Amino acid sequence: MTGLDNATIRFNQFRVPESALLCRFGGINASTKTYESKLPENCTRTLDLLLSRLLTGRIVLSEATLAHAMSRLQHNWAYTEKRELWRGKKAKGRMMSEMTLIRTTFREYARTTAIFQHFIAHTRERVADAIRGQTGFTDDLIEATCMCKFLGTGFGVDCVSVVRKTMGARSLQQGSMLGCESFLPNATSAAEGDNTIMELKVVQDIVRGRTLKCPISLMYAISGTAEGRAAISTYLLRFGRALVLGKKAIKDGQLLRDIAWSRAHMRVIAAWLEVGKEKAPRGWLQSYQRVAMRFPVPSQM
């Protein structure tokens, strides 16, 4: 078995006693020999029960991964503020945090991580409302959750890698928190739906009509910012190219990834703008565009 967590089990000439049946959410009535549902309160469909476990799992992994990445950013930034560089004949040398490359890198990635965290928290609340209100999970919400998965865990890999490269030899020391434990994002990228599968699902749902090919309201909401317009134009150009290619587009993996990520960027920017201008200064979206909105989408994300 070379897969991750999928398997097929077949039994021949084997009977399972009634006492051994899994029956937490449903089972066989011993007297009528019919199936009876045992769904939790406020849950009307088995599908919603399964989706709630799957979608919440993807969000949990994504939030945990970004929290992990942010902790590496904060921990190592604190180190740079105390690390004095070569002073020469001066009484005191410059602090590592004063170096332009160091300062810029930590600022840009911290801002971008915070924006991704906001989007995932926003989607988490939407999922929670759907569970509490018994409204079920719309295709639009499922798309947003799939995006959380590859955005949060994928960017987590990229973010920790950048911190590791920025810190140089310091990253080899145990105190940097950049050792083997910092590869958690690489593990979460493959759990609860491999990121590549999540990207393809986003595109597949668009093509099959489950989600809007051209989400006008979403585009309108972000069209007032340069970053929003950049995401819109990238999505339209990439999706237009896929339409021209037709079935041949299936073989262009990079094109499909670009479509998924550009569409996801539109959602992230829209969610960020909802917090209000006073809480969402323009400089943060500029950082987000410089760090995250790169096309073709790099393979490490």
pLDDT (0 to 100) of residue 103: 97
Angle at 255 between CA 244 and CA 205, to 5 degrees: 80
Would 112 be classed as within a structural domain? yes
* 3 pLDDT above the threshold of 60: no
Q: 100: closest CA among 80, 115, 86?
A: 80
The mean pLDDT value for 224-241 works out to: 97
What is the chain's mean pLDDT, rounded?
Answer: 89
Residues in the chain: 301
Question: Would you say residue 97 has pLDDT above 90?
Answer: yes
In order of 164, 188, 207, 234, 301, the CA distances from 183 in angstroms are 11, 9, 34, 31, 13
Quote the Cα angle for 106-107-113, to 5°: 85
**pTM recorded for the entire structure:** 0.86
Structure letter (DSSP) for residue 28: E
CB 227 within 8 A of CB 285: yes
pLDDT at 164 over 90: yes
Residues linked to residue 37 through DSSP beta bridges, in sequence order: 26
Q: Answer yes or no: is 1 within a domain.
A: no
CB atoms within 10 A of CB 191: 16
Mean pLDDT of 171-191: 93
List, in order, residues 6 or more apart from 103 with CB less than 8 Å away.
97
Q: Could you read off the pLDDT of 99-147 as tens digits, one per residue? A: 999 999 999 999 999 999 999 999 999 998 888 877 778 899 999 999 9
Q: CATH no. for residue 155?
A: 1.20.140.10
Range of the domain at 188: 46-292
More reliable by pLDDT, 127 or 51: 127
CA 172 to chain centre: 28
> Tell me, what's the pLDDT at 276?
61
- Is residue 85 included in any domain, yes or no? yes
Is the residue at 24 inside a domain?
no
Please, what's the largest Cα pairwise distance for the chain? 92
Q: How confident is the model at residue 18 (pLDDT cuts 50, 70, 90)?
A: confident
Position 15 in a domain: no
* pLDDT of 55 above 50: yes
pLDDT at 207: 94
Quick one: which of 44, 1, 6, 39 has its CA closest to 23?
39
- Per-residue pLDDT, averaged over 73-79, amounts to 97
Two structure tokens written together for 147: 């995006």
The number of C-alpha atoms within 13 Å of 3 and in the hemisphere containing its C-beta is: 6
Say if 39 falls within a structural domain.
no
Domain count, the chain: 1
Q: In this structure, is residue 176 part of a structural domain?
A: yes
Q: Which of 178, 167, 280 is nearest to 227 (CA)?
A: 280
124 in any annotated domain: yes
Average pLDDT over residues 192-205: 92
Pick 47 or 83 by higher pLDDT.
83
Q: Which tokens hold the place of 198?
A: 């999540």
